[in-house]
Chains A and B, each alone.
Chain A
Amino acid sequence: MAAKSNLVNMALCLTAICLVCSALLAGVYAVTAEPIEQAARKALVAAISKVLPEGGEISDAKTAEFGGQKYEYYESSRDGQPLGWAVKTSTIGFGGPLTLLAGITPDGQVYAVEVLSHSETPGLGAKCTSDQRFISQFRGFDTRSKQLKVRKDGGDLDAITASTITSRAYALAVSNAAELVATLQKDKEE
């Protein structure tokens, strides 16, 4: 059946297989690198356009520091007037990091929020991506007159049933984004 083993043919055979395989993978990687990057960019652009008003021109990624954490954000503007900011904001949920993209308009309102990645429990915290009753509360939420906190903590948001920790993390992430945008605006005025 299989060839008899000796040191030479063992080494030769493994080397050959490894060479062929890595060459193949390097080739495929070179071909797929572009589509992979495009897919990631497309997902990000899609998320940004969902959380910001339509018709703006979206800037490249910018970074800002706020409260000891680094944030990545995108500015959307039309005719030099800002339409809103999409802030990538991350907090700790129930199962691990919860990363959102929060769109904030210049008047301090939340336009919409998209979940970029999470590791919440399926059927419980993971509903933060699908529970319309929870998600819709954020649309048009005025961060200047209302509190971005769940009711249990004295805020104005209804938490997802049986998932207070996820809801808290979600609210905190959006609230951080809103505060970041507020400081950005203040810096600009000065």
Chain B
Amino acid sequence: MEYFLIIISAIFVNNIVLAQFLGVCPFLGVSNKLSTATGMSGAVCFVITLATVVTYLINQYLLVPFGLDKFMQTIVFILVIAALVQTVEIVLKKISPSLYQALGIFLPLITTNCAVLGVAINVVTKEFSFGGGAAHMMGLGEATVYALATSLGYGLAMILFAGMREHLAANEVPKAFKGLPIAMITVGIMAMAFLGFSGIV
């Protein structure tokens, strides 16, 4: 039940792009076409989940025992994410060229996607509570589910938005609104729709 609440909350109520403003740059950057948006979403899902698990373990078993979590967290996390992205790229190239074809070009972009670092830092520094339980730091299981659900929320928002942008591109918009401004306003309206989910968890 708790996991179910985490999933609903992370995908709809606290959607990472539309409510938490994380990962907005790539969200705007690669949502021109549905196909690229789908590819990017897949890559982000994979990296966020993996990075959260790895940084969680590193924080728990390396940084905290040595008292380094107060001042080395940011550096270590960003380096781990960068290294992880590189490794994933190399491994993917070797074992699944077809998947690499689909996700490969998005991987280097993900290092500087603040959604990845944001989720990783949030999980180890913030107390969470779901469904009226007491506020607590997340365990590994919860953190994994949370990261996966959050990245699914990212994918959902991105794919929905890409669908709309394809339609927008085919329509006449005033000159000053062309491109990003109208996209931004569209996201605003989407965010308003997602506000409707608040309060259900």
Contact = CB atoms under 8 A, between A and B. Distances in A.
Interface of A: 21-22, 25-26, 28-29, 33, 69, 90, 92, 94, 96-97, 99, 121, 165
B95 interface: no
Contact of B135 (A25, A92, A94): A92
A94 B70 CA distance: 29
Contacts of A25: 71-72, 75
B: contact size bracket: 10 to 19
A97 B70 contact: no
B12 to A, nearest CB: 14
A96 B135 contact: yes
B170 interface: no
Interface string B106-146: 00000000000000000000011100111100000000000
B199 interface: yes
Given A22-B72, A25-B71, A29-B70, A94 B128 contact: no
Contacts of A94: 198-199
B127 A97 contact: yes
Interface string B66-97: 00001110010000000000000000000000
Contacts of A69: 134
Interface string B156-179: 000000000000000000000000
7 A-B pairs with least C-beta separation? A97-B135, A29-B71, A25-B71, A92-B129, A97-B127, A97-B129, A92-B132
B128 A96 contact: yes
B134 A28 contact: no
Contacts of A92: 129, 132-133, 135
B71 A26 contact: yes
A90 B128 CA distance: 12
A90 B134 contact: yes
Contacts of A22: 72, 75
Given A96-B129, A97-B127, 11 more contacts: A25-B71, A25-B75, A29-B70, A29-B71, A33-B70, A92-B129, A94-B198, A96-B135, A99-B135, A121-B198, A165-B199
Most buried by B among A29, A69, A94, A96: A96
B66 to A, nearest CB: 11
